[in-house]
Amino acid sequence: MITSLAFVYLMSQPAGATTGGQGNALITFLPLILVFVVFYFFMIRPQMKKQKEMTNYRNSLKKGDKVVTTGGIYGRVHEVKDNYIMMDAGGDIKLKVDKSALVKDPTADE
């Protein structure tokens, strides 16, 4: 929509008219600048916030926390190391899982 408004504005200018070198360059790059601003606030910034949240969650894991792997395996943290955890998946099954493969268990807050 923003680019279409800029296009309409540029089309309304007479063919031989120029508004000056500096002003015309600003008008030309304004839609591109606005697209970058929209991408930053609606895509890049929320993704960075979510990534920071997940990093904080993974670093704050402790024994007994409920976790889910990206593969869908539910379990509880048995032991925490620097890059991985030992997860109790039920019964006598213990799995060594990389911390980056963990997502927050939505049922853990209940």
| pLDDT for residue 36 | 92
pTM, to two decimals: 0.63
Every domain of the chain and the residues it spans: 2-56, 62-109
What mean pLDDT do residues 19-39 have?
82
Structural domain 62-109, CATH architecture: Roll (2.30)
Q: How far apart are CA 66 and CA 57, in angstroms?
A: 12
| pLDDT for residue 3 | 59
3-state DSSP call for residue 72?
coil
| pLDDT for residue 61 | 92
When the pLDDT of each residue in the chain is averaged and rounded to a whole number, the result is 84
Task: Please determine, for residue 88, whether its predicted confidence score (pLDDT) is greater than 70.
Answer: yes
